[in-house]
Amino acid sequence: MSAGALPEGGFAAALPARPVPPHGPRLQGDDGGDIKGGIRVERLTGAALADRVEELAVLRLAVLGEFPYLYSGSAAYEERYLSDLAGLPGGLILAAFERNRMVAAVTGAPLDQELDALRDPFTHAGCDPRSIFYFGEVVVLPCHRGRGIGTALLEIGESHIHETGRFASIAFGEIVRSIDHPRRPNAYRTPDAAWRRLGYRLEPEIGGTLSWCDACDREETAKPLRFWVKSLATSIGA
């Protein structure tokens, strides 16, 4: 799954699809190092992912169960999904740790390796999915939000993507929920302003749907998606 990230004040992201948010500290190096506040970032692959995949699955399920995703999944599915993602050419998993505890993570993959439901809206709009990197979920534990951790993960991911020289842009999908949704928290605010500050623009002509089972529901339902895109030609030292 994969669909849009949330703002630093309430981070989560979408399942069956994937996402991106806020600005802050930078990592010392692309694949590992320390950011401000004693937070360490690692790129998880191979044995490192195998050692942490259960912890990452638990983190994702906890955060993605929140509004607007309300995702109800299993640890076994998440672990398979993450292992498959790490095995994709260009697949990306970054995790942030405080001491030795995982507190945040971001996932992504080249759009041409994503689900048809994510790839097809761009293809139908005349975009080449081979030139687009698709960010999946950005997940940050509630007690660690507002510290720039999600932003730092995204900046590190963007830097890595830019340095591959393969992609012209980065995209993510945002789940659209109704204003009067019964499980919408009173304090919830959409992250649109955060996306724009980070250089992403909403593409009103590109839209799609993604299906999964909400928590407390018995059947999958289709959720509308809208997509945000950032050109790498005007960012990250270009």
Q: pLDDT tier at 220 (50, 70, 90 boundaries)?
A: confident
- Both tokens of residue 226? 């809208």
Q: Is residue 86 part of a domain?
A: yes
Whether residue 52 contacts residue 104, with contact meaning beta carbons closer than 8 Å, is answered with no
Alpha helices in 18-69 (DSSP H): 46-64
Q: How far apart are CA 113 and CA 123, in angstroms?
A: 13
pLDDT tens track for 22-71? 222 333 334 445 555 789 999 999 899 999 999 999 999 999 989 988 88
Is the residue at 183 inside a domain? yes
In this prediction, residues 168-183 reach a mean pLDDT of: 92
Identify whether 2 is part of a domain.
no
Q: Is 6 a member of any domain? A: no
202 φ, ψ (degrees, to nearest 5): -75, 135
- The pairing of strands 32-35 and 201-212 is unpaired
Residue 24 located in a structural domain: no
Q: What is the tally of structural domains in the chain? A: 1
More confident residue, 1 or 105: 105
Q: How many other C-beta atoms are found inside a 10 Å radius of the C-beta of residue 221? A: 10
CATH value at residue 36: 3.40.630.30
User: What pLDDT score was predicted for residue 235?
Assistant: 53
Domain assignment present for residue 3? The answer is no
In this predicted model, which residue has the larger pLDDT, 15 or 79? Answer: 79
pLDDT higher for 97 or 182?
97
* Helix 46-64 / helix 75-87 crossing angle, nearest 10 deg: 130
Model confidence band, residue 230 (pLDDT cutoffs 50, 70, 90): very high
Residue 141: the pLDDT is 94
Which range has the worst mean pLDDT, 82-86, 97-101, 148-152, 225-229?
Answer: 148-152
d(CA 146, CA 80): 30
| Assigned domain for 7 exists | no
Q: What is the pLDDT of residue 5?
A: 36
The whole-number pLDDT of residue 237 equals 44
Lowest mean pLDDT: which of 36-40, 97-101, 184-188, 218-222? 36-40
- What pLDDT does residue 10 have? 32
What is the residue range of 102's domain?
Answer: 32-234
Written as six digits, the tokens of 186 are 């009173």
Which H/E stretch holds residue 95? strand 92-98
Q: What is the pLDDT of residue 15?
A: 29
Checking if the pLDDT of 9 tops 80, the result is no
Please work out, in degrees rounded to the nearest 5, the angle formed at the alpha carbon of residue 157 by the alpha carbons of 163 and 45: 95
97 pLDDT above the threshold of 60: yes
In a domain, 132, yes or no: yes
Bridge-based pairing state of the strands 92-98 and 32-35: unpaired
Percent of the chain clearing pLDDT 90 (strictly above): 54
